Amino acid sequence: SYVLTQPPSVSVAPGKTAYITCGGDNLGGKSVHWYQLKPGQAPVLVINFNTDRPSGIPERVSGSNSGNTATLTISRVEAGDEADYYCQVWDSNSDHWVFGGGTKLTVL
Amino acid sequence: QVQLQESGPGLVKPSETLSLTCSVSGGSISSYYWTWIRQPPGKGLEWIGYVYYNGYTKSNPSLKSRVTISVDTSKNQFSLKLNSVTAADTAVYYCARVSGGSRSPADYWGQGTLVIVSS
């Protein structure tokens, strides 16, 4: 089955840029979606189809996908960005959804 | 604004069946896929499966044949049944709408409901 790999944690100082990666075999050929999870809250879609920002997501949040790696980039990081982030794809071979293991973003 | 709300027992005994319902408001359940996702305590998200409004379903093979997902368009609801549960099925269960086809993301989510499997 298809596997997505994320670093367990990323730490960044306020105002700096956070890069959260998601790795998978030929991932560049798939559509990657990113979700933000905060305790006690409903998950939020922050990037869909590799690069698109849903309404309400600030422009400092962006995504890219090429080769075997997709990246969620959060510029000018704020304390409110501290959360768990998950990448997700649809695996066409199995017609299943796959999630990465999640990355905890800590704002120092 | 589409809203989803999970409902069901918060405590289920081992070997019994976990049953949850997701009520959709602010939009029709028709013409969309609807999905269930869970998160065990301290672990990551796990896709359980989805149902199309016409009843077509697909589920995670890791859950084998324990999963049944159904839709009731007359009530604007869809449901999850997971049988023969064990402590490993303890998790926060989320329902969500899929914005388009199966390659699309989940764009609206419920708040999630914690289900504990324990005697």
Give A100's contacts in chain B (Cβ within 8 Å): 44
pLDDT at residue B80 in the model: 98
List A35's β-bridge partners, or say none.
A45, A86
- Given CB atoms, is B47 within the 8 Å cutoff of chain A? yes
Is B44's CB within 8 Å of A102's CB? yes
pLDDT-derived band at A56, boundaries 50, 70, 90? very high
The three-state (H, E, C) secondary structure of B69-85, written as one string = EEEECCCCEEEEEECCC
Per-residue pLDDT of B1-60, as tens digits, reads: 999 999 999 999 999 999 999 999 999 999 899 999 999 999 999 999 999 999 999 999
**Is residue A85 packed enough to be buried (19+ CB in 10 Å), middle (13-18) or exposed (0-12)?**
buried
3-state secondary structure of B61: helix
Handedness of CA B7, A39, A53, A9 (dihedral sign): negative
Is the distance from CB of B43 to CB of A104 less than 8 angstroms?
no
Q: Please tell me the distance in Å from B109's CA to the nearest CA on chain A.
A: 6
Give A102's contacts in chain B (Cβ within 8 Å): 44-45
Per-residue pLDDT of A19-51, as tens digits, reads: 999 999 999 999 999 999 999 999 999 999 999
What whole-number distance in Å separates Cα of residue B47 and Cα of residue A90? 11
**Mean pLDDT, residues A61-77 taken together:** 98
pLDDT-derived band at A1, boundaries 50, 70, 90? confident
Enter the DSSP assignment of B45: -
Which residue matches tokens 């989320």? B94
Give me B82's structure tokens: 């997971």
pLDDT-derived band at A68, boundaries 50, 70, 90? very high
List B81's β-bridge partners, or say none.
B19, B68
Is the distance from CB of B6 to CB of B95 less than 8 angstroms?
yes
B31: left (phi over 0), alpha (psi -120 to 50) or beta: left
CB burial readout A66-78, b (16+ within 10 A) else e: eeeebbbebeebe
Q: Could you tell me which residues of chain A have a Cβ less than 8 Å from any Cβ in chain B?
A: 1, 31, 33, 35, 37, 41-45, 48-49, 54, 86, 88, 90, 92, 94-102
Query: B64 pLDDT exceeds 90?
Result: no
